[in-house]
Amino acid sequence: MNRGVALELDSMRLAHYGNQIPCLICDEGNTLDAENCRNCYAPLILAHQARSKNTAPVMFAALGPSGVGKTVYLGMLLDMLSRQPKHLQLSARGGFSVTLQQSTLAALSRCEFPSKTPNEPDRWNWVHCQLRSSKHRQPVEMVLPDMAGEALFEEVDHPRSYRVIHALLGRCDGVMILIDGTKLQTGSIDEDYFTMKLLSHLTETSGGAKTPWATRPMALIFSKADQCESCFEDPAAYAQRHAPGLTRICQQRFHRHRFFAAGVAGACAMRHVRGEGEQLVPLRVEPRGIIEPFEWLVENLPT
């Protein structure tokens, strides 16, 4: 009898193999027991969990060059929203969704910044969570990946080199673009160019999308603002002063954008690490301006 049951289960598995599961990010069909999408390497657990709710999750992406603070921002945001008992709350769906905030806060509590996000998509931290807000009667399913800045700019420079990024940008509902406020303050024009390239890329990728990027909400966040406090006073004026090219492209092409300033470390010091040179370390954790951009994105979600 045991043997008969085993045969029946095997046939079930074969039937499941025939019924492929589409990747949540790129829609490519995958076998049921695959861990990552064979096309874009996004974790298929996202697709499994999304299927159980029958609604497509909202997707937000945090974009910006390497070292701008995407991981710290996302990790801090998730931790704050999962701890505060206020009108905006996030609850992780699955243990893997807590990893990003756990690793970020563990590093910050040791007075370190988290290590660089690897370029390989299957090693990124993905977050699948439920958002509860006063605006939505039902919890909203949400997916947030922590992408590597270098991979992102490889995709911008050579479109479709990272299929996961290409697919994600095509279907995400809003973006948080991080810009290093301290670099702008010192007169570096690289940040301005980086962001302009990214915005141009977004404009071009929205060709076939139902909602063009011009109408999708875009929060432009000056990161590390604790080290250039004038950011906090008027982020839009700060952008006008230090990133005129970026301001102009936003005004011309993106109707729903807003500038924000955010900081996590109250102050930083330089540390010398053998073999790696000088490294910036946070001297304390005092988040400021972290929730506001996300809250604005949620309020401006396309209906």
Positions touching other proteins (CB under 8 A) are: 83-84, 105, 108-112, 229, 266-274, 278, 281, 283-288
Closest distance of CB 265 from other proteins, Å: 10
Q: Of 61 and 107, which has the nearer Cβ to other proteins?
A: 107
Q: How far is the CB of 283 from other proteins (least distance, A)?
A: 5
Residue in the block written with tokens 């025939």: 18
E strands, 195-262, where? 218-223, 257-261
Shortest Å distance, C-beta 235 to other proteins: 16
Identify the DSSP state of 237: H
Q: Least distance to other proteins from the beta carbon of 288, Å? A: 7
Measure the CA–CA gap between 107 and 279, rounded to whole angstroms: 14
Pick 13 or 83: Cβ nearer other proteins: 83
Residue 151 burial (CB count, 10 A): 20
CB 103 within 8 Å of CB 113: no
DSSP single-letter state for residue 36: B
Distance CA 246, CA 254 (A): 11
For the record, the structure tokens of 36 come out as 């990552």
285 in Cβ contact with 265 (< 8 Å): yes
Q: Are 179 and 188 in contact (CB under 8 A)?
A: no
What's the token pair of residue 156? 């911008």
Shortest approach of other proteins to residue 186 CB, angstroms?
12
- Closest by Cα among 154, 77, 148, 68 to 113: 68
What is the nearest approach in angstroms of other proteins to the Cβ of residue 297?
21
